[in-house]
Chain A
Amino acid sequence: MNPVRKKRLILIGLMVTGVAIAVAFALNAFNQNLMFFYAPSEVMAGDAPPDHPFRLGGLVTTGSVQRQPDGLTTRFDVTDNVKTVTVQYTGILPDLFREGQGIVAHGKLNENGVFIADEVLAKHDENYMPPEVAASLKDAHNAATTPAAGTGAP
């Protein structure tokens, strides 16, 4: 092998190794940062991880929103029309948060089965339903074969 090619190969080899190591780290971190989505039925069935954050989505049950009088803590129920999970969130809710609206919350379950959310998302469109929520409503509907209201998602 001529010396120029050899040098070039060493250079490329070094770069590739460096990049490979970095990418390995990146992919490892990637796996730890994945947040899975669960519907209330799945959470109640015990599918959701007890100690890892995940995303919970569904409709806010009408009449369930309770504000603690002294601060910014809110409790409300999220449902897929089959099962219901109580969510607790401290902070300012998004503009489009309201009863009957589809939402997605990030957070963890506590030991009482209450979902402690650190972020609540309601999308910027009245008629918009997060696709995960729409799908889970449909699944729950099919599984329960009971008439479910408000599944008129896109």
Chain B
Amino acid sequence: MIPELGHFALILALCMAIIQAIFPLVGSLNRTPDWVALARPVAWGQFVFLSLSFGILTHAFLVNDFSVLYVAQHGNTELPTIYKISAVWGAHEGSLLLWVLILSGWTVAVASLTRNLPDEVVARVLSVMGMISIGFLSFLLFTSNPFERLFPVPVQGGDLNPLLQDFGLAVHPPMLYMGYVGMSVAFSFAIAALIGGRLDSAWARWSRPWTLVAWVFLTIGITLGSWWAYYELGWGGWWFWDPVENASFMPWLAGTALIHSLAVTEKRGAFKRWTVLLALLAFSLSLLGTFLVRSGVLTSVHSFAADPARGLFILMFLLLVIGGSLFLYALRAPGISRGGGFANLSRESLLLGNNLLLLVITALVLLGTLAPLLYDAFQWGKISVGFPWFTSMFVMFTPPLIVLMGAAPLTRWKQQDPAALLRSLRLALGISVVAGLVMALPVREGSLSAGLAVALSVWLLTTLLTSLKQRLKNRPGIGGLLADIASRGGRSYYGMWVAHTGIAVFVIGVTFVTQYDIEKDVRMSPGQEIQLNDYRFRFDGAVPHKGPNYSAQIGTIRVFRDGREITVLHPEKRTYLVQSRPMTEAGIDAGFARDIYVSLGEPLDNGDWAVRLYYKPFVRWIWLGGILIAIGGLLAASDPRYRMRVLASLRGSRTATGTASAEVHA
């Protein structure tokens, strides 16, 4: 009976979504305040019913209700409680339910945090979000009902995929979905602005914090995914250019372009059309990501079983969203006013360059991801795009991007005197070139790539320091810095500062681990020792062990350096009982400057094991960079100028004319 309630709640949520999509929008167009006023309560209603539905599915997992097909497939009485909960989104139906719930959560957030925006704007935004919700809810109800019953009821469930029985993967999908779905807010603001025909700086300022928060979640989700792959897949890789990783990376790239473009639109009123297009693109890429993951058209570790009906549904939805929004854009774009002009050398032009590069990278990742599909569709053969290609693309397009990143904060809006720019960049340029050359010297086993990476990172850091110095010229000391952070617009700047530092850290991590890591697959007998770099590894054999829902062999590997034992690692080889699936748990000694990583391959004869021994320098810096980028985004999103109080005080000044400049320069 309870699961049926969950199903009914879903149906009611769909009804709410339909009301939310139609009435507020129509009301905002024919000026019916009652209809406009419907938007917020209906959004809340939808959220309540979806939470109920989600809660019921979670309950079914917790009480092992195997009469529900989805629970019977992915639940198990032996699962630890935390994984019973994460099993809710461990497969197709439940993860879609989570998706819709998160969409509804974002909708409610928009509904409650926009009290100071004009009601008709909020009504339109919520309407657009309602339309998206209709799409996903009908997808859920018509093709992937999580509450479908199973008869006869099995006594035991099929268990959660062991790969997903891990804390990292329990939180990775919700984070990623927060990001994916969060992009729908920027999309909805853009569509609402297109419908209203008013794209101004106010629009950019309204959607900017939302976009930033969504982008932060996406950043965290991707970072978590990479970290999980590193320790859970057992072979030390942190990024595979897997189609599903690309699916999350493309919206991130487009989102990165979008937050920079939004900054220009907010500050200078320029790039309006471009910004709108990016907002449409970022969400379209999120949808494309969903299509790629959920339809199973691509070979990937993430793909769930392929179902053509589902793929077709999302594809149609995707076409409808992209086609509809582009159509609306084509209708409205000619009416969008030009923004402020700028010279060839100005912060605007550098940001435009950065936007172009980001989009080129996005397009190339898209090409590499979709090429296998296209080749197959045109019968040109079955292909895969090699890992090296993606990497070389990245190595080609990232350096110019970082050069621009360093210079842009020191460049003035509107117009910059080249000589003055050169003067302020001189020192940073000198330091970074020298640092790069020193690193590239052959005596230090340097390499060109390591030299380039160091030069770029140092360039970023030194230009950031230069810009900080210029900024604090009139506010000396720590007190000045703190006052500046607290000031209006201050956190935007420091957010940029922290996020760009994150990029510098990330670049070092990626390059060093790629250039200097040592990987060795060996056969080891108990007691045998193997030297790797400065480290000596001794294998002390493996012993059987019983876990709650798996049995395992736990190995012991002692690691010595300079004759001293520095760590004992216990890599595991687990076999999960229900799905009889082997899993590798790596043994990792994590460090700031290096990780030591060992994992068990397979048992050979006489107690020998195939063992992987890795030395991974600076690998933590990759995720440290990701965390810094996320913190930077949060700082920027928390800037006081987005606060309601400020907006409220400006509300009176928002009249038909001159909304933008008055607010920005106030």
Pick the interface stretch among B385-393, B406-414, B641-649: B385-393
Q: Are A30 and B523 in contact (CB under 8 A)?
A: no
What string of 1s and 0s marks CB contacts (under 8 Å) between A113-154 and chain B? 000000000011110001110010000000000000000001
With A33-B389, A123-B301, A132-B299 in contact, is A91–B521 under 8 Å at CB?
yes
Contacts of A96 in B (CB 8 A): 581-582
With A7-B344, A10-B344, A96-B582 in contact, is A72–B523 under 8 Å at CB?
yes
Q: Assess whether A11 is interfacial by the CB under 8 Å rule.
A: yes
Contact partner of B383 (CB less than 8 A), chosen from A10, A22, A37, A90, is A37
A126 to B161 CA separation, bound complex (whole angstroms): 11
Contacts of B166 in A (CB 8 A): none
Contacts of B349 in A (CB 8 A): 11
Nearest chain-A residue to B391 (Cβ)? A33
Q: Assess whether B583 is interfacial by the CB under 8 Å rule.
A: yes
What string of 1s and 0s marks CB contacts (under 8 Å) between A31-69 and chain B? 001111100000000000000000100000000000100
With A71-B523, A93-B601 in contact, is A33–B385 under 8 Å at CB?
yes
B610 to chain A, nearest CB (A): 5
A92 to B579 CA separation, bound complex (whole angstroms): 22
Q: Are A95 and B381 in contact (CB under 8 A)?
A: no
B residues 515-570 touching A (CB-CB < 8 Å) = 521-523
Nearest chain-B residue to A8 (Cβ)? B344
With A25-B396, A26-B396 in contact, is A55–B521 under 8 Å at CB?
no
Nearest chain-B residue to A98 (Cβ)? B582
Q: Are B341 and A30 in contact (CB under 8 A)?
A: no
| SS class, residues of chain B in contact with chain A | mixed
Q: Assess whether B487 is interfacial by the CB under 8 Å rule.
A: no
Q: Assess whether B29 is interfacial by the CB under 8 Å rule.
A: no
B residues 480-524 touching A (CB-CB < 8 Å) = 521-523
Nearest chain-B residue to A70 (Cβ)? B523
Q: Assess whether A23 is interfacial by the CB under 8 Å rule.
A: yes
A11 to B341 CA separation, bound complex (whole angstroms): 13
Contact partner of B610 (CB less than 8 A), chosen from A25, A36, A72, is A72
A37 to chain B, nearest CB (A): 4
Q: Are B360 and A92 in contact (CB under 8 A)?
A: no
Q: Are B389 and A55 in contact (CB under 8 A)?
A: no
Q: Assess whether B640 is interfacial by the CB under 8 Å rule.
A: no
Contacts of B234 in A (CB 8 A): 95
The contact size tier of chain B is 35 or more
Q: Assess whether B612 is interfacial by the CB under 8 Å rule.
A: yes
A103 to chain B, nearest CB (A): 12
A8 to B338 CA separation, bound complex (whole angstroms): 14
Q: Assess whether A15 is interfacial by the CB under 8 Å rule.
A: yes
Q: Are B364 and A26 in contact (CB under 8 A)?
A: yes
B15 to chain A, nearest CB (A): 35
Query: Number of contacts between A and B (CB, 8 Å)?
Result: 93
With A93-B601, A124-B163 in contact, is A11–B344 under 8 Å at CB?
yes
Number of interface residues of A (CB under 8 A): 38
Contact partner of B522 (CB less than 8 A), chosen from A72, A93, A132, is A72
With A15-B352, A124-B301 in contact, is A33–B521 under 8 Å at CB?
no
Q: Assess whether A29 is interfacial by the CB under 8 Å rule.
A: yes
Contacts of A91 in B (CB 8 A): 521
Contacts of A135 in B (CB 8 A): 382
A25 to B349 CA separation, bound complex (whole angstroms): 24
B501 to chain A, nearest CB (A): 27
Nearest chain-B residue to A15 (Cβ)? B356
With A15-B353, A33-B386, A34-B386 in contact, is A131–B397 under 8 Å at CB?
no
Q: Assess whether A19 is interfacial by the CB under 8 Å rule.
A: yes
Q: Are A154 and B305 in contact (CB under 8 A)?
A: yes
Q: Assess whether B4 is interfacial by the CB under 8 Å rule.
A: no
Q: Assess whether B306 is interfacial by the CB under 8 Å rule.
A: yes
Nearest chain-A residue to B604 (Cβ)? A67
Among A35, A55, A95, which residue has the most Cβ atoms of chain B within 10 A? A95
B216 to chain A, nearest CB (A): 29
Nearest chain-B residue to A55 (Cβ)? B384
What string of 1s and 0s marks CB contacts (under 8 Å) between A86-111 and chain B? 00001111011000000000000000
A26 to B393 CA separation, bound complex (whole angstroms): 7
Q: Assess whether A4 is interfacial by the CB under 8 Å rule.
A: yes
A59 to chain B, nearest CB (A): 16
Q: Assess whether B82 is interfacial by the CB under 8 Å rule.
A: no
Q: Are B396 and A92 in contact (CB under 8 A)?
A: no
A35 to B386 CA separation, bound complex (whole angstroms): 7
Q: Are A30 and B385 in contact (CB under 8 A)?
A: yes
Q: Are A37 and B368 in contact (CB under 8 A)?
A: no
Contacts of B388 in A (CB 8 A): 33
A15 to B404 CA separation, bound complex (whole angstroms): 13
Q: Assess whether B367 is interfacial by the CB under 8 Å rule.
A: yes
Q: Assess whether B34 is interfacial by the CB under 8 Å rule.
A: no
A96 to B575 CA separation, bound complex (whole angstroms): 11
Q: Are B612 and A92 in contact (CB under 8 A)?
A: yes
Contact partner of A30 (CB less than 8 A), chosen from B389, B583, B601, is B389
Contact partner of A93 (CB less than 8 A), chosen from B299, B301, B602, is B602
Q: Are A131 and B299 in contact (CB under 8 A)?
A: yes
Q: Assess whether B2 is interfacial by the CB under 8 Å rule.
A: no
Nearest chain-A residue to B234 (Cβ)? A95
A55 to B343 CA separation, bound complex (whole angstroms): 51
Q: Are B601 and A36 in contact (CB under 8 A)?
A: no
Among A30, A91, A130, which residue has the most Cβ atoms of chain B within 10 A? A30
Nearest chain-B residue to A119 (Cβ)? B387
A15 to chain B, nearest CB (A): 6
Contacts of A34 in B (CB 8 A): 371, 383-386
A-B contact pairs, 7 of them (CB 8 A): A26-B364, A72-B601, A92-B610, A96-B581, A124-B163, A132-B299, A135-B382
3 closest cross-chain pairs (CB), A and B: A92-B601, A33-B389, A37-B382
Chain B residues close to A by CB (< 8 Å):
161, 163, 234-235, 299, 301, 305-306, 341, 343-344, 349, 352-353, 356-357, 360, 364, 367-368, 371, 381-386, 388-389, 392-393, 396-397, 521-523, 579-584, 601-602, 604, 610, 612
Given A33-B389, A36-B382, A123-B301, 17 additional A-B pairs, CB 8 A: A7-B344, A11-B349, A15-B353, A22-B396, A23-B364, A29-B393, A30-B367, A33-B386, A34-B383, A67-B604, A72-B601, A92-B601, A95-B583, A123-B299, A124-B161, A124-B301, A126-B579
